[in-house]
Amino acid sequence: MTYSARGTRLLKALENYCNGNKAHYSDSRMVFSKLKTAHLTEGCLKGSFVVDPSMCNIGDTLHGGYMASVMDAVSLYALISRSDGRLGWTTNMNISYLKPARLGDTITVESNLLKGGASSVMEVILHDGEGAPVAKSTTSFISGSDKFQKILKDNLDFDVFEN
DSSP 94-107: EEEE-S--BTT-EE
The domain locations on the chain are 2-156
Amino acid 91: pLDDT: 97
pLDDT of residue 69: 93
What per-residue confidence (pLDDT) applies to 12? 84
* Nearest-angstrom CA–CA distance, 66 and 24: 18
pTM beyond 0.75: yes
Model pLDDT, residue 41 = 84
Q: 112: Cβ–Cβ under 8 A, 6 or more apart, which residues?
A: 43, 44, 122, 123, 124
Q: Judge contact between 92 and 132, C-beta under 8 A.
A: no
Question: Could you tell me the fold of the domain covering 2-156?
Answer: Thiol Ester Dehydrase; Chain A (3.10.129)
**Model pLDDT, residue 9:** 84
Rg of the chain over Cα atoms, rounded to whole angstroms, equals 15
Closest CA relative to residue 33, chosen from 22, 46, 44, 17? 17
- pLDDT by position in tens, the chain (length 163): 667 888 888 888 888 877 776 555 556 778 888 999 888 888 899 999 999 999 999 999 999 999 999 999 999 999 999 988 899 999 999 999 999 999 999 999 999 999 998 999 999 999 999 999 999 999 999 998 988 898 888 888 889 888 7
